[in-house]
Every structure is written in structure tokens, then in C-alpha cells.
């Protein structure tokens, strides 16, 4: 499987809100780029971050860790993070791990909706 490099586009979507559009794979090699982009956006005065995952290829455990890191950084600085356009595979993973209850996960766009609801792992 060919790895797809991660590109992150930061777009102002409100006075204190930035949208980080991800394109590619969020993995061990690219997770630091997301954490860095989120920190830069916060340094530029954006307290609310929307992470647009519509272009995400795959996300490994390092990618999940990066999402948790930017969420925690937002809490520490009085900001927030919301994940948008989360694909079915990542949505199921977030649900099974309970991270969907922790991270702000927005409703999927129509192309990412599944007819089958996710199942949480028994714990």
C-alpha cells in the first residue's frame, strides 16, 4: 500500500475559528505536522479549531494520538477542537475506543454516512 503524504491547509472560518483541512495519511511520520499546525493556528489567535478529515486517507495510532494531543492542548488554552467529515473507518475506531465521547466529532457529510451504526467494543 502506497503511503500518501499529509497536506494541511489552514483556513479562517470565523473570528476565532480556523479549519484545518487534512489531505493524505495521518500516521507516525506525519502526526507531528498536525500537532505543529494546530499550535501555529492557536498562536495566530484561533481558539476554536475544526479539523476537516474529508481528505484523510488512513489514520494509525500515532494519528489518533495527535488528535488527542491537539484536543488536550485546546482544553489547556481555553479553546476547543471539533472533528468534521470523519470517514466511516475512523468513526468506527473512535466509537470503539470511546474517543468519540472525548473528542468533538461532528456529523458526517452525506458521502461519509453509513447505513450501519458503529458498534462499541465491550470493555
Instruction: Quote the CA–CA distance of 81 and 114 in Å, as a whole number.
Output: 24
Instruction: Quote the CA–CA distance of 1 and 11 in Å, as a whole number.
Output: 30
Residues 4-28 have pLDDT tens digits of 789 999 999 889 999 999 999 999 9
Residues 55-94 have pLDDT tens digits of 999 999 999 999 999 999 999 999 999 999 999 889 998 9
DSSP 106: P
Q: Are 37 and 10 in contact (CB under 8 A)?
A: yes
Instruction: Quote the CA–CA distance of 1 and 112 in Å, as a whole number.
Output: 22
Query: Would you give the end-to-end CA distance of the chain in angstroms?
Result: 32
- Percent of the chain whose predicted confidence (pLDDT) is above 90: 65
- Give the pLDDT band (50/70/90) at residue 111: very low
Instruction: Quote the CA–CA distance of 40 and 25 in Å, as a whole number.
Output: 20
Q: What is the pTM of this model?
A: 0.82
Q: Which CATH code is given to the segment(s) 7-111?
A: 3.30.750.24
The predicted pLDDT at position 20 comes to 97
Amino acid at each position: 500500500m502506497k503511503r500518501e503524504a499529509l497536506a494541511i491547509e489552514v483556513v479562517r472560518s470565523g473570528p476565532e475559528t480556523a479549519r484545518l483541512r487534512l489531505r493524505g495519511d495521518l500516521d507516525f511520520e506525519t502526526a507531528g505536522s498536525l500537532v505543529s499546525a494546530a499550535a501555529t493556528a492557536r498562536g495566530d489567535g484561533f481558539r476554536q479549531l475544526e479539523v476537516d478529515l474529508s481528505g484523510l486517507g488512513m489514520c494509525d495510532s500515532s494519528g489518533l494520538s495527535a488528535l488527542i494531543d491537539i484536543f488536550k492542548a485546546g482544553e489547556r488554552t481555553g479553546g476547543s477542537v471539533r472533528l468534521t467529515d470523519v470517514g466511516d473507518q475512523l468513526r468506527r475506531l473512535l466509537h470503539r475506543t470511546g474517543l468519540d465521547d472525548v473528542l468533538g466529532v461532528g456529523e458526517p457529510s452525506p458521502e461519509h454516512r453509513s447505513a450501519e451504526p458503529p458498534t462499541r467494543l465491550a470493555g
